[in-house]
Amino acid sequence: MNDHDKRSIDRRSVIKAAASAGLVGLAGCSGGAPEDGDGGDGGDSSDGGDGESTDSSTDSGSETYTIGMVDSLSGSLSAFGQRNQRGKEIALDDINSVGVGGGELEISQQDDQSTSQGGVSAAQTLVNQEEVPLLIGTVGSGVSTAIHESVVQNTDVVQISQNSTSPNLTNFPDLLRMPPAGKAQAEAISTLLEDDGQESAALAWINNDYGQSVGEAFLDSFDGEIVYNEPHDQGQSSYSSTISSMSDTDADAWVFITYQPEFATMSQEAFDLGVTDQAAWYGGDSVKGPKVLESAPEGSLNGMKAVVPSVPQDAENYQAFVSEFEDRFGEEPTSWSAYAYDAVVVSALAIEAADEFTGSALMEVVRDVTRPEGEEATTYEEAHEILANGGSPSDVDYTGVSGPIDLDENGDPVGLLQVFEVVDHAYESAGFIEG
């Protein structure tokens, strides 16, 4: 473990002052539970999942373009899915108020039940039976990868994940995604430890693609000593063995790459065992969230730092999205809702820009409508107008409500991250990171 090759990074160029221009981190985790998992419309707003054909006609005779969406409507990641549904609803309304390809967009939806097996089954229904040319899906990184490898790869179908952040997705260039890769998050956590003078770390990671890949990225970037490096399974009733093992080390810092339910249990058990103050605590996005603080004894997590995906708070299009979200659902969106919104809009722009409604035609243009070479458009309507007036895909640079997208050759976007610290049993911003 101590012989692991480690790579240092320029810490001063990574973490920026907390007073940097208005950005806000809205937590969640690729594969974990978001900040707020107690609300949502679940699958009730689903626009399909019942075998709708890919091409049909509306009552008025205009074209209906049906794409697929695999989302976590049940299971451990359902809080993500509920938030995605809200972002999806707003996006569909914005798109269909303007139109796409002379018609309207519909989404046929399936539940992955927060599992790889469920995701593959859901994708098979959409791709093999309904023959959708584009698939939005899904939350968990391992589920998105399983869908790609088992169903999408070697077909013409375009796949865009709305929430997955695992660094491993970069190895599948045709698996596109909206949120930033977890590699930047892992490097930022490492930088936090080094800036705080932590010379050794105990690392606990959830035993799946997300946990393993982000954990490995942390190991690659941390220059200190790793004194504990072990996985834990999802959905266990107790993690006291993990906490006890970490406590048996003399680590300066404990690092958690896990999901919100698992971390909430760990933090409570650490308090029960009297070891909360033994080391400084750090983590990925799912150690931030009201459910964590609700389950942790008052003050027990003070000083903990988390790195989470962020969005440009002061951007006009994001503020419009927040206003609509609050009006309809009575609360602010998380960044994950914004990513889901942008996944739907980018899909619609690809349909508008493509020569035909096929996967191969959509794949040719889907990256182009997000790249900075084109004219910036911060709403679907603006981007649609450029294309409808004869513009080419490369004439459009859609800058979404989640910020610049700019999908690269690996299907990864430009991303923003934010650091939070628990102070007086509340999360306070501690700076921003460009992913």
What CATH number labels 182-309+417-434?
A: 3.40.50.2300
What is the model's pLDDT at position 22?
35
Give residue 97's identity as a one-letter amino acid code: S
Q: To the nearest whole percent, how much of the chain has pLDDT over 70?
A: 86
What is the model's pLDDT at position 240?
97
- Report long-range pairs for 168-173 (Cβ below 8 Å, ≥24 apart): 168/141, 168/209, 168/213, 169/141, 169/144, 169/145, 169/411, 169/412, 170/410, 170/411, 170/412, 172/145, 172/148, 172/411, 173/409, 173/410, 173/411
- CATH 3.40.50.2300 maps onto the chain at 63-179+314-404, 182-309+417-434
Rounding to the nearest 10 degrees, give the CA dihedral for residues 419, 260, 76, 407.
10
Model confidence pLDDT, tens digit, residues 380-402: 999 999 999 999 999 999 999 99
Compute the distance between CA of residue 325 and CA of residue 95 in angstroms, rounded to an integer.
16
Residue 434 has pLDDT above 60, yes or no: yes
Confidence at 378, pLDDT banded by 50, 70, 90:
very high
168: nearest Cα among 132, 141, 139, 129 = 141
What is the model's pLDDT at position 286?
79
Q: Which fold has domain 63-179+314-404?
A: Rossmann fold (3.40.50)
- Report long-range pairs for 238-246 (Cβ below 8 Å, ≥24 apart): 238/265, 238/269, 239/265, 239/266, 239/269, 240/269, 240/273, 242/204, 242/266, 243/269, 243/270, 243/273, 243/275, 244/273, 246/202, 246/204, 246/275, 246/279
Compute the distance between CA of residue 113 and CA of residue 122 in angstroms, rounded to an integer.
9
135: nearest Cα among 156, 165, 104 = 156
Q: Which two tokens stand for residue 212?
A: 């393993």
Model confidence pLDDT, tens digit, residues 73-132: 998 888 889 999 999 999 999 999 999 999 999 999 999 999 999 999 999 999 999 999
Per the rule left: phi > 0, alpha: psi between -120 and 50, beta: everything else, 308 is beta
Whether the CB-CB separation of 394 and 368 falls below 8 Å is answered with yes
3-class secondary structure per residue, the chain: CCCCCCCCCCHHHHCECCCCCCCEECCCCCCCCCCCCCCCCCCCCCCCCCCCCCEEECCCCCEEEEEEEEECCCCCCHHHHHHHHHHHHHHHHHHHCCCECCEEEEEEEEECCCCHHHHHHHHHHHHHHCCCCEEECCCCHHHHHHHHHHHHCCCCCEEEECCCCCHHHHHCCCEEECCCCHHHHHHHHHHHHHHCCCCEEEEEEECCHHHHHHHHHHHHHCCCEEEEEEEECCCCCCCHHHHHHHHCCCCCEEEEECCHHHHHHHHHHHHHHCCHHHCEEEECHHHCCHHHHHHCCCCCCCCCEEEEEEECCCCHHHHHHHHHHHHHHCCCCCHHHHHHHHHHHHHHHHHHHCCCCCHHHHHHHCCHHHCCCCEEECCHHHHHHHHHCCCCHHHEEECECCECCCCCCCCCCCCEEEEEEEECCEEEEEEEEEC
Cβ atoms within 10 Å of 247's Cβ, excluding its own? 20
Q: To the nearest whole percent, how much of the chain has pLDDT over 90?
A: 72
Model confidence pLDDT, tens digit, residues 15-29: 333 323 333 333 334
What is the model's pLDDT at position 224?
97
State the chain's mean pLDDT as an integer. 86
Per the rule left: phi > 0, alpha: psi between -120 and 50, beta: everything else, 194 is alpha
Mean pLDDT in residue range 214-237: 96
Whether the CB-CB separation of 64 and 130 falls below 8 Å is answered with no
Model confidence pLDDT, tens digit, residues 155-212: 999 999 999 988 889 999 999 999 988 888 899 999 999 999 999 999 999 998 889 9
Give residue 133's identity as a one-letter amino acid code: P
Compute the distance between CA of residue 383 and CA of residue 390 in angstroms, rounded to an integer.
11
